[in-house]
Amino acid sequence: MNYKKIQQILKEKPKTWLVTGCAGFIGSNLVETLLTLNQKVLGLDNFATGHQYNLDHIEKSVSKEQWENFSFTKGDISDYETCINATKGVDVVLNQAALGSVPRSIDNPVISNNSNVTGFLNMLTAAKENGVKRFVYASSSSVYGDSEELPKVESRTGNLLSPYAVTKYVNELYMGVFYKCYGFESIGLRYFNVFGKRQDPNGAYAAVMPKWISQMLNGEDVYINGDGETSRDFTYIDNVVQANIMAGTTTNTEAFAKAYNTAAGGRETLNNLFNAIATGLKEKLPELEVQEPIYRDFRAGDIRHSNANIDQAKELLGYEPTHNLEEGLKESLEWYINDIKGNK
């Protein structure tokens, strides 16, 4: 069943969804889409990396009636009682709450583990105890570690390179065990370099795409880690939203207890990405001057190349990416220009 058909079914028969990390980049986009589909949405966030203004953006973008279907709780998934209370009466959990970033986990592995492992297990257990029908969660392409195989296939991973990668791999192990022990339906999504509107460009651990866009718009220096030939499968946020909804609604029993590459299935170098962003901005803002990038050392824990095989997600979840890098970048640039320039 395709995405458009699923959206129509959801509008006719709404579900109750819990989105953890709802004030973050991916979580807020999930909330927004679900509300536009007239779903009832519960949100949970501790604002460690999420922001109230993301929720404010959603309120402005949906109708009054749709916004009334959203209820928010400030809380932390590392607290089990919070998870128990949040999962009551929920049909589907979309667990996005986590401390992202490979460098952050290297700097502080304990706090990453507390959120990404203890918090994850709290949510998984609470969802099971409260009879949640489906549990979908954010895994990561970092689980491929030092594997040099391209494109990446779910069944073959390498040696892990960071505490963050360990936490996400542990999530996948728990998913499998909970299915074997309890028959609990969960699905993992291995995100590949997600980008798009509302992704935070600020902070020491900001992702490359929003950081570069913001720096170029503000006339600041742009740094490239390594020689710029590192490549990534950049994945637009709409593709990730679709994967979550398809995973949350699939009736294919073969799909459960598996992790899926969630990507566009392409690959682009950082050098080419820099040029694409600079060109796209100059097309919209001819007066903008963009300096040449400054190269510096490779970043610890980073893999050299990343490219996903998305056949399993297509076959078992019905996932079909709607945006490639070029299409997603065009929409992202429009959003950031309006947001950054509009706030000056």
Catalytic positions: 164
Q: What are the phi and psi torsion angles at 83 (to 5°)?
A: -65, -40
Q: Which two tokens stand for residue 343?
A: 């706030």
Beta bridge partners of 187: 136, 258
Q: How far, in Å, CA of 139 to CA of 308, rounded?
A: 14
Which residues make Cβ contacts (< 8 Å) with residue 277, sequence separation at least 6? Answer: 209, 212, 213, 216, 329, 333
Beta bridge partners of 71: 42
Amino acid identity at 279: T
Query: How are the residues of the chain apportioned to helix, strand and coil, as percentages rounded to the nearest 5?
Result: 45, 15, 40
Please count the other Cβ atoms lying within 10 Å of the Cβ belonging to residue 52. Answer: 12
Asked whether 86 and 73 are in contact (CB, 8 A), the reply is yes
User: Alpha helix locations (H) across the chain?
Assistant: 3-12, 25-36, 52-61, 64-67, 80-86, 102-107, 109-113, 119-129, 163-182, 208-217, 237-249, 270-284, 311-317, 325-342
Under DSSP, the state recorded for 185 is -
What is the pairing mode between strands 294-296 and 223-225?
parallel
